[in-house]
Amino acid sequence: MCGIVGYIGREDIKEILLDGLRELEYRGYDSAGVAILEDEEIQSFKAIGKLKNLEEKTKNFSTNGFGLGIGHTRWATHGKPTELNAHPHLGEFSYVVHNGIIENYQELKKKLIQKGYNFLSQTDTEVIVHLFEENYKQENETFKAFEKTVEMLAGAYAILLITKADPNTIYFAKNGSPMIVGNDEKGDIYFGSSDAALIGKASEVIYLSDGDYGYTKEGEIKIFNDKTEKALQKKPLIGDKISAQKDGYRFFMEKEIYEQSEVLGDTIMGRVLDEKIKFDELDENFFEGINQIQFCACGTSYNSALACSYLFERQAKIKSFVEIASEFRYKEPLLSKDTLFVVISQSGETADTLEALKMAKKAGLKTLAICNVDNSSIVRISDYTLLTRAGIEKGVASTKAFATQVMVMWMLALYLAQIRNTMSAEELKAEISTIRHIPKTVIVEDSLHEKIKRLSKRYLHGHGFFFIGRDLFYPLALEGALKLKEISYLHAEGYPAGEMKHGPIALADSELFTIALMPKSVHYDKIKSNVEELSARDATILAISPLEFDLADDFIKTNYSDHPMSEFFEMMVITQLLALEISVRLGNDVDMPRNLAKSVTVE
């Protein structure tokens, strides 16, 4: 997730762009940049880190006549957060900003290099500006060149492009990544990745659809789709900035739950091909001599690793074990060099995980980070990194970070299965097709959310919760219980369903709430008898399953799928929403629960 802005008009262009970027900084802050075209000259400024660094760099620059500009705040996906990789990217006479991922950038880049184009950055974005200039050479007409460029791009994008070849115009295109264009009464034009960047400036806006592209000049907006001009569907822009940042959701956590479909799409983009998994970030030789994997993490990241350890053993047939980082550090672990040490962290700054990583490095192990924040301490220290691409997560209770971690590790398990030849081509294809379907699986239906809102009122008291599941669904039960604890302050435990009879069942009575994860694809009969045992002791049961279960007090029906991961992701969303709605009813601060911090940088 990055943020982009654009402006055409007579106000101070830099101030308008910086104002917009300030509102979008929640989308990413690895680096920021602007390009401003005034009197046929383009000035560009970039700075790594937060926006204040760009503000400092541009403090002596201002405009005071007609002009236009584009700006960007970056959340790195391809290439490190350096100034060269920061947007806008320049060609010979044009500049571009982009949010999304150009999937075919490597083949385009190769062709452009053969034609003599020189690339300065490691980004996928830079191909757009060179491609546009190459097309302009052939077409000699800017709009045609832009249209042709857009046609040649595959992947997700929101693009703004300015060029000295047509100095009064901003070209734009949108596919899969958000973009809004608006105007004020004077005819000044504004672009932004979300309402927040336009509130207080534009009076009416158009929410661009996938496949839209076009151009804007002072007082003029032209939108095309599939080479046909579209009628402009303008809407008045109202609202306040904070709620715009939350995109109309009550809490960031709620927004982040709803965002999971989009970010999972980003996570798999360019990595899941028709018949194989590809990670540009990895070198296959890196895995030579590796016989086992040691995962190490804290909290939610630990739960995601535990879930995926089942996949690594089953799919890649590699011994996998998982350790809580704070335990690992002091157990004087025996480490052997045939072990790949994988740390998982949303923030990349968790002290316990970071220290565990340093220990593994010191012992000479190969290391890999699964992380959401590029250039974080954990990323800098690890030999290799796979970014989860979840975008900034503001809610202290992790949701989309968990979803994307699981997805990255599932893809990694398949990648290793390819290298180790532990799966047939047919099996791999089936996995790939399930992965592609997951972003749809996590879309939140209104009816589901409404049902959970209603159900939540029955789960506010009692003497505790047990989330139970088996197999992959045991770590999901741990994660469901962690979510509930964090934001409701109610006592909840995640437990392997088969283990209840070895002790905890003693707690069962009508005041004990059991959240039973009962997928059809994994040991349904086994978990069913575990839940029956609890029901016989009068525990209150909320069953989550595709199969009706008569003994449940409450029941949430899921879709039947024969792939455990589809059931896993669907149940994940249900447990997140349940925690959210219980917390809301209890009147708690959902996004900033008491006693917790987003990133735990102390022991």
Q: Interface residues with ligand AGP (CB under 6 A)?
A: 298-301, 345-347, 350, 353, 396-398, 486, 599-600
**Which residue type sits at 166?**
D
Calpha distance 560→546 (Å, rounded): 5
What 3-state class would DSSP assign to 542?
strand
Residue closer to ligand AGP, measured from CB, 21 or 397: 397
Residue 429: count of CB within 10 angstroms of its CB: 14
Task: Give the shortest CB-484-to-ligand AGP separation in angstroms.
Answer: 11
Q: How many CB atoms lie within 10 A of CB 398?
A: 27
Q: Which two tokens stand for residue 222?
A: 């032209």
Nearer to ligand AGP, 113 or 596 (CB): 596
Q: Is 557 a known active-site residue?
A: no
User: Using an 8 Å Cβ cutoff, are 174 and 213 in contact?
Assistant: yes
CB 463, min distance to ligand AGP, A = 23
- Other beta carbons within 10 angstroms of residue 383's beta carbon come to 14
Number of helices (H), then strands (E), belonging to the chain: the values are: 18, 25
d(CA 108, CA 103): 10
- For the CB of residue 247, give the shortest distance to ligand AGP in the complex, in Å: 21
C-beta of 244 vs 263, nearer to ligand AGP: 263
The DSSP-derived string for 346-357 is SSS--HHHHHHH
Half-sphere exposure (CA, 13 Å, Cβ side) for 200?
A: 10
How many whole angstroms separate alpha carbon 421 and alpha carbon 310?
A: 18
Nearer to ligand AGP, 301 or 315 (CB): 301
Task: State which amino acid sits at residue 575.
Answer: T
Tokens linked to 342: 């994988």
483-499 per-residue burial string, b: 16 or more CB within 10 A, e: under 16: bbbbbbebebbbbbbbe
Reading the block at residue 131, the tokens are 């491609």
**How many Å apart are CA 195 and CA 197, to the nearest integer?**
5
Residues, the chain? 603
| Min dist. Cβ of residue 324 to ligand AGP (A) | 10
Question: Taking Cα atoms as reference points, which of 11, 127, 18 lies closest to residue 71?
Answer: 18
For residue 394, the minimal CB distance to ligand AGP (Å) is 12
Please say which residue, 375 or 599, places its beta carbon nearer to ligand AGP: 599
Q: Residue of minimal CB distance from ligand AGP?
A: 299
Q: Which of 80, 217, 276, 598 is catalytic?
A: 598
135, 154, 267, 397 from 386: Cα distances, Å: 34, 22, 10, 22
Nearer to ligand AGP, 298 or 497 (CB): 298
Give least dist CB 194 to ligand AGP, A.
Answer: 24
Q: Residue 17 corresponds to which tokens in the numbers above?
A: 């762009």
DSSP 413: H
> Taking each helix axis from N to C terminus, what angle separates 299-315 and 473-488, rounded to the nearest 10 degrees?
170
CA distance 586 to 486: 13
Nearer CB in complex with ligand AGP: 277/571:
571
Angle between helices 400-420 and 564-585 (to 10 degrees): 170
85 or 353: CB nearest ligand AGP: 353
Q: Could you say which of 2, 296, 308, 371 is catalytic? A: 2
Least distance from ligand AGP to the Cβ atom of residue 393, Å:
9
Q: Which is nearer to ligand AGP, 48 or 296 (CB)?
A: 296
* Residue 142: CB minimum distance to ligand AGP, A: 45
Q: Is 144 a catalytic residue?
A: no
List, in order, residues 6 or more apart from 427 with CB less than 8 Å away: none
**What is the closest distance, in whole angstroms, from the C-beta atom of residue 143 to ligand AGP in the complex?**
45
**Cα within 13 Å of Cα(430), Cβ side:** 12
Shortest distance, CB of residue 405 to ligand AGP, whole angstroms? 8
Residue 175 or 353 having the CB closest to ligand AGP = 353
- 92-114 burial, b if ≥16 CB within 10 A, otherwise e? eebbbbbbbbbbebeebbeebee
Which active-site residues does the annotation give?
A: 2, 598
